[in-house]
Amino acid sequence: MSKAVIITGASTGIGRALAVEYSRRGYALGLCARRLELLEELKQELSGGEAVAIAKLDVAELESVPEVLQKLKEELGGVNIVIANAGIGERSFPGEGSFEVDRRIIGINVLGAMATIDAAAELLKKEGGGQIVGISSVAGFRGLSATPAYSASKAALSTYMEAIRNHLMQHKIAVTVINPGFIDTPINTHRQIRPFLISAEKGARLMADMIEKQVFSSTVPVWPWAVITTIMRLIPERFWYKINV
């Protein structure tokens, strides 16, 4: 069996770009997302290479996650890497009638990701090992006033993955956290300012390189975000709230 990767949220954005990159690298692909028609188009685009299995999945429907990942694994004949990528990013602020948006963000970005990771760990234990990857964000390093729920969701995901690493290493499962900066995808095209923007293709290439090296955690790109996020963490709260606009 060739190497195989399962990617959630693979119909657009980073997930789609990762699917294309892993196809180029000769991986068999298990792709899932809410919009099956987009996955079907992507499958046609990638046809002619390794196997591509697709399935409809809304990770907010937590009980369906293990079943879908199991189905994809069986179609591929096994799996080496599971990438928990599905996520949303929307603006919402307390006291403005947008709590439902917050609930959706946490439901998908945190609980949906945890359900994916849990199902992936069960599959990979049976495979004798592998790798679980979480697509977090530089927004998780500090609370950003423009996207408070999104920042909180990515901080939660990063912390959760850091906490499970030691346990999963005992089962020969590597845990990698990827923290993208601004990647040119639909999740951030509404923003007027996108500093240090890189294309989705370049972002996927950098991420795949890091995943293959089984890094614990990294920003994407490393420069300048590794420096920027370090500085962000060092700024005292009494100053952070003044510049965090």
Q: What is the pTM of this model?
A: 0.96
In this structure, are residues 21 and 45 in contact, taking their beta carbons and an 8 Å threshold?
no
Going across the sheet that includes 81-84, the strands are 52-56, 28-33, 4-8, 81-84, 130-135, 173-180, 217-220
In the chain, where the domains are located? 4-243
Q: Assess whether 150 carries a catalytic annotation.
A: yes
d(CA 106, CA 108): 6
Each of the 245 residues of the chain gets a pLDDT tens digit; together they read 579 999 999 999 999 999 999 999 999 999 999 999 999 999 999 976 679 999 999 999 999 999 999 999 999 999 999 999 999 998 899 999 999 999 999 999 999 999 999 999 999 999 999 999 999 999 999 999 989 999 999 999 999 999 999 999 999 999 999 999 999 998 877 777 789 999 999 999 999 999 999 999 999 999 999 999 999 999 999 999 889 86
The two structure tokens encoding residue 37: 């028609």
Number of alpha carbons in the 13 Å side-chain half-sphere of residue 57: 34
Phi first, then psi, for residue 218 (nearest 5°) are: -160, 150
Return the number of other C-beta atoms located less than 10 Å from residue 114's C-beta: 20
pLDDT at 48: 67
Q: Does domain 4-243 have CATH number 3.40.50.720?
A: yes
User: SS3 string of the chain?
Assistant: CCCEEEEECCCCHHHHHHHHHHHHCCCEEEEEECCHHHHHHHHHHHCCCCCEEEEECCCCCHHHHHHHHHHHHHHHCCCCEEEECCCCCCCCCCCCCCHHHHHHHHHHHHHHHHHHHHHHHHHHHHHCCEEEEEECCHHHCCCCCCCHHHHHHHHHHHHHHHHHHHHHHCCCEEEEEEEECCECCCCCCCCCCCCCCECHHHHHHHHHHHHHCCCCEEEECHHHHHHHHHHHHHCCHHHHHHHCC
Q: Which of 22, 27, 150, 160 is catalytic?
A: 150
pLDDT at 189: 73
Of 208, 179, 229, the residue nearest 22 (C-alpha):
208
- Whether residue 94 has a cis bond before it, omega within 30° of 0: no
